[in-house]
Amino acid sequence: MPDGAGCGGAWSVFRGDALDAYALWPAPSVIISDGAYGVGGFPGDPRTADGLVDWYEPHVKAWAKHAHPSSTLWFWNTELGWATVHPLLARHGWDYVQTVVWDKGVGHVAGNVNGDTIRRFPVVTEVCVFYRRRLEFPTPDGVMPAKQWLRYEWRRAGLPLHKANQACGVANAATRKYLTQDWLWYLPPAEMMERLVGYANEHGRADGAPYFSLDGAAPVTGAEWARLRDTWNHSHGITNVWSAPPLHGHERYKGNGLRSAPRVHRPGRNAAVHLNQKPLEFMRRIISACTSPGDAVWEPFGGLCSAVVAAL
């Protein structure tokens, strides 16, 4: 496992099966998965999407085991590959957030035509699907998602909903945003959560305390609450369609040898090593949006390790 430090971060490359590496790595802030596509793209990649659930299952289980409540997952695939694996991800606690589409443009059509594909609209996309860990809390009435739990605990404290506004020092926004059960709900930021928790434990019924507790012993603190939430650094003007032609030029990795690589990754002197190498800019976008400096980024299916390079 070559390790290193530089470019402002520490890195390690595990040369082997990612399943043997997960337990060695620090818990991830973000996992960027670019594994099997169900297209026979590398030895072991199933030839159709039908084999993808079996292929991903041990990885998805390991990701769930090692993730924080605040970890995110970015899952690159074809649309059919992702649709096939989505129920597996959902079953293991990954909540769908959105689909980013890589639009490679019409140039991608060249050379990609056969008797079948000529009778449909040309496919020039891959998808990268963003997931968060499902935030849930145990209660005597069963496990609840955060939205339901916040209102449940407030009610359990015997407090009328409008008192949340007094707790947060606002006219009506706290009840409307944090305790609503409709789609206008917001997860309270740490400072507002501290106020809600403090108020409920001070003014709520004495016999049910502590309220808003993660361990049943003490109310959650602002710092603990903040750690449950994934990082999101917003960039204005970026949508979920990312347009860039297939890589050419200096960023495209060309094979010169790579004799230790599997056959499909052992191209001729000037052939591209990877059919659909991901633009570094896309990996940078993901990492900038979802991490803070010093966070751990996992790239389980390294290949050219574009996510690692972008992270550094």
Ligand X SMILES: C[S@@+](CC[C@H](N)C(=O)[O-])C[C@H]1O[C@@H](n2cnc3c(N)ncnc32)[C@H](O)[C@@H]1O
Closest distance to ligand X from the beta carbon of 51 (Å): 13
Segment 241 to 280, residues that bind ligand X, using CB under 6 A: 274, 277-278
SS (H, E, C) 137-206: ECCCCCCEEHHHHHHHHHHHCCCCCCHHHHHHCCCCHHHHHHCCCCCCCCCCCHHHHHHHHHHHHHHCCH
Which parts of 72-111 interact with ligand X (CB under 6 A)?
A: none
- What single letter denotes the amino acid at residue 131? Y
Report in angstroms the alpha-carbon separations of 204 from 115, 160, 265.
70, 10, 63
* Closest CB to ligand X among residues 168, 307: 307
Q: How far is the CB of 184 from ligand X (least distance, A)?
A: 38
225's enclosing H/E stretch is helix 222-227
* Window contacting ligand X (CB under 6 A); options: 37-45, 120-128, 178-186, 244-252: 37-45
Report the nearest approach of ligand X to the CB of residue 257 (Å).
16
Q: State the minimum distance, in angstroms, from the CB of residue 244 to ligand X.
A: 14
Query: Which window, 121-129, 206-214, 219-227, 296-304, contacts ligand X (CB under 6 A)?
Result: 296-304
Dihedral of the alpha carbons of 15, 19, 285, 49, in degrees to the nearest 10: 110
Closer to ligand X by CB, 131 or 298: give it. Answer: 298
Nearest to residue 69, comparing CAs of 22, 136, 143, 145?
Answer: 136
Angstrom distance (rounded) from CA 111 to CA 69? 44
132 sits near ligand X (criterion: CB under 6 A): no
Tokens standing for residue 201: 């434990």
Binding ligand X by CB under 6 A: which of 42, 56, 102, 199? 42
Looking at the Cβ atoms of 128 and 159, the one nearer to ligand X is 128
Greatest CA separation found in the chain? 75
Looking at beta carbons only, is 176 or 266 nearer to ligand X? 266
User: Of the candidates 9, 40, 41, 93, which one interacts with ligand X according to CB under 6 A?
Assistant: 41
Q: Which is closer to ligand X, CB of 42 or CB of 178?
A: 42
Query: Closest CB to ligand X among 128 and 157?
Result: 128
Which member of 17, 54, 191, 251 binds ligand X (CB under 6 A)?
17
Least CB distance to ligand X at residue 12 (A):
13
Round to whole Å and give the CA distance between 54 and 173: 46
In one letter, which amino acid is 152? Y
CB of 303 to ligand X, least distance (A): 2
Give φ, ψ of 293 to 5 degrees: -55, 135
Phi and psi torsions of 283, nearest 5°: -65, -40
- The CB-of-44 to ligand X minimum distance in angstroms stands at 6
CA separation for the pair 133, 136 (Å, rounded): 9
Q: Does 62 bind ligand X (CB under 6 A)?
A: no
Chain residues that interact with ligand X, rule: CB under 6 A: 17-19, 34-35, 41-42, 44, 274, 277-278, 301, 303-304, 306
